[in-house]
Amino acid sequence: MPSYSEIVIEHSQRPRNFGTLENPDGSARVASSCGDWVQMMLQLDADARISSVRYLCYGCASALATSSLLSELATGMEASKALELDPEAVMAAMGGLPEEKTHCNSMSLSAFKQAVQDALSHRQAGPDA
């Protein structure tokens, strides 16, 4: 049976920021080969800082916990700095995941980064794009 850190257990039992954003600045959905998926939505403030992150998730407790923790880590970050988050940093913040669950970390982080890139591309295109 896989062993989970207290942080993973906490975020899977009491997920933060679950839900949707109306009119997000950026969004992306990523699925894994096991059938799990995560959709990330975010808003940027005037300084291109992430002001809000929400997500929908269909999957195991590891996918939910990773998405929840990532939503907290990213809130308040400059969007350009958020793109520098790597799987190891998120994994360390979670206290690790069992080897067979590391794809959940990659899936959530990929959806998040794609949502950030989506938001930044809309910002660069201007308000009428």
pLDDT in tens, 32-88: 888 889 999 999 999 999 999 999 999 888 889 999 999 999 999 999 999 999 988
- Domain locations in the chain? 6-119
DSSP codes joined into one string, the chain: -----HHHHHHHHS-SSBS--SS-SEEEEEE-TTS-EEEEEEEE-TTSBEEEEEEEEES-HHHHHHHHHHHHHHTTSBHHHHTT--HHHHHHHHT---GGGHHHHHHHHHHHHHHHHHHHHHHHH-TT-
6-119 carries CATH number 3.90.1010.10:
yes
Question: Which pTM does this prediction carry?
Answer: 0.90
